Structures are given as C-alpha cells and as structure tokens.
Chains A and B, each alone.
Chain A
C-alpha cells in the first residue's frame, strides 16, 4: 500500500503491485507530473536472454566506468553482434524504470537507423520500438 503523508495526515492510494499504473497516473495528476505509463505496442522479443549476466553465449564488454551504473553491453559470441541491457530504476518512470534491451544496428548511418526493433528493422535512437523487452517484463505496459 502506498501512503503519502500530507500536512493533515496520511491518505492511502492503493495496492502498489496490483494497481501500480493507475497509482502512478493518479500521483501524476495530483502533482502535475508526466506519467510515461503509456501502452507499448511493439518491442516484445522472446529471444532476449532471461539472465544476460549468466548467459554462456554472451561476453560482458561493459566499459569499466559504466560498471554499477546499470548500463551494460554484451557481445554475442556466436554472431559478434552487440546487445545492450539497461537496468530499470524503480524510482523513475517510463522505459528508464524497467529492465530493457537494445540491439544496435552495426550498419547504421546515423541516429535514424541506430537500433533494430523486435522484427530486425532499423529504427531511430530513442524511439519506442528500439526498447526491447522479454514477454514477462511488459506487465507494466
């Protein structure tokens, strides 16, 4: 249960796990904050690793200065292709709040075709389809 302390006491918002999206939208409305809890239509990829840190096919190539910052890069030993994994921060909203992956396009010419979507098509950096999720990770969408 989320509790928010106001000047005159506490008021309850609801069960966090069951109603997180509604709660975040409600909180956003109260404080006039952006919610970023929008529907995600694309980006689900069941071929993504469940645990990239213990996947024998992946080599961790994360830069030493990025260690502990939630920003990870892996190289697929079979294909040589890079896979990026961003750890979610529950204090944040939108994609930043949730574990997700990116597949960089090695043949990109700029930011318009920087990543692949879940169908292997080039998509722009920062676009919604460039954020890839395992099926069980999209409960929040």
Chain B
C-alpha cells in the first residue's frame, strides 16, 4: 500500500450523508474528492487522521477506467460535478467497482435542487489517499 493510502472499503458506511466535493479527470484516471459524515474516533480500528469536524477526508483514485454507468445507463462522457456539491447517499467499493449515490446540491447561491445520480465505475485499480486537510468550499 502506498504511503498516505489506506483501505477505505471498510469505512464506506461513514460516508452516508458525507460530501462529494470534486471530480477530476486525468487521462484514464478519475480522482474523486470525498468527505465523510461525522466520525467518532473511538469507532476507528485504524490510525486515521481526521479532518475538521471529525471527518474522513481524501481522494479516491480510480485508474484504468473500464466502464461507467449513470442511473443504470452506460456513460461514455466525462464524469463531472453536476452541481456545486453532492450529498452522498451511498458509497460502496466491491473489488474494483465503486458505487456512489449522490443527491446534488447548490449553495452559492443556494437553490432548491432535486437531482439524484447513481454512478457506478469499474476500474483496473482503486485506492484511497487520505487527506485530512482537504478543503470543502461550502462549509
């Protein structure tokens, strides 16, 4: 495991009601910045430095993208933020497949948004880079 990385798959339940902060595309790699919901440090079984407000913050790296579906349809475009931020309803990693269910939202200016996406990404390699100092501009 790389320095600064950890097995995030056993902590994905903490991301329910957390935030999708950003999505970046670099060649056939996607980087997804995520912040968990509030975590009680006593629950953690690993030494994970938490960010502000007791959140697990970091970047999910997906290398060698094989397939993306959005709302059960094959997606061939560039995956990007559909709104300013996203509330995570579900985050799951199984083998090399990531599922994110996102309730999109706008903050500046605040507006009533009712958009929801289920994004499933299959990649050759997935790893988590813990970044406690990750900034969420909408706090």
Interface residues, chain A, CB within 8 Å of chain B? 28, 32-36, 38, 61, 63, 65-66, 69-71, 73, 86, 92-97, 102, 108-112, 124-128, 130-131
Does B11 sit at the interface, judged by CB under 8 A?
A: yes
A98 to chain B minimum Cβ distance, whole angstroms, is 11
- Other-chain contact of A69, B13, B37, B90, B139 (Cβ < 8 Å): B90
Q: In the bound complex, do residue A126 and residue B36 qualify as a contact, i.e. CB atoms below 8 Å apart?
A: yes
Q: In the bound complex, do residue B87 and residue A38 qualify as a contact, i.e. CB atoms below 8 Å apart?
A: no
List the A side residues contacting B107 at CB < 8 Å.
109-111
List the B side residues contacting A108 at CB < 8 Å.
110
Count contacts between A and B, CB distance < 8 Å. 96
A110 and B40 CA atoms in complex are apart in Å by: 23
User: Which residue among A38, A61, A65 has the maximum number of chain B CB atoms within 10 Å of its CB?
Assistant: A65
Q: In the bound complex, do residue B14 and residue A94 qualify as a contact, i.e. CB atoms below 8 Å apart?
A: yes
Given A63-B116, A69-B101, A111 contacting B139 (CB threshold 8 A): yes
B75 to chain A minimum Cβ distance, whole angstroms, is 13
Q: In the bound complex, do residue A109 and residue B110 qualify as a contact, i.e. CB atoms below 8 Å apart?
A: yes
Ordered by A's residue number, 30 sampled pairs between the chains whose C-beta atoms are within 8 Å are A28-B45, A33-B10, A34-B11, A35-B43, A36-B43, A61-B114, A63-B116, A65-B71, A65-B116, A65-B117, A65-B118, A70-B89, A71-B103, A73-B114, A93-B13, A94-B13, A95-B17, A95-B37, A110-B138, A111-B19, A111-B136, A111-B139, A124-B53, A124-B139, A125-B37, A126-B17, A126-B35, A126-B38, A126-B55, A128-B38
Q: In the bound complex, do residue B38 and residue A127 qualify as a contact, i.e. CB atoms below 8 Å apart?
A: yes
A122 to chain B minimum Cβ distance, whole angstroms, is 13
Interface residues, chain B, CB within 8 Å of chain A? 10-11, 13-14, 16-19, 35-38, 40, 42-45, 53, 55, 71, 85, 87, 89-90, 101, 103, 107, 110, 114-118, 136, 138-139
Q: In the bound complex, do residue B118 and residue A69 qualify as a contact, i.e. CB atoms below 8 Å apart?
A: yes
B118 to chain A minimum Cβ distance, whole angstroms, is 7
List the B side residues contacting A128 at CB < 8 Å.
38
A102 and B18 CA atoms in complex are apart in Å by: 13
A126 to chain B minimum Cβ distance, whole angstroms, is 3
- Other-chain contact of B44, A34, A70, A92, A95 (Cβ < 8 Å): A34
Q: In the bound complex, do residue B87 and residue A94 qualify as a contact, i.e. CB atoms below 8 Å apart?
A: no
Given A65-B118, A95-B17, A34 contacting B10 (CB threshold 8 A): yes
A74 and B115 CA atoms in complex are apart in Å by: 14
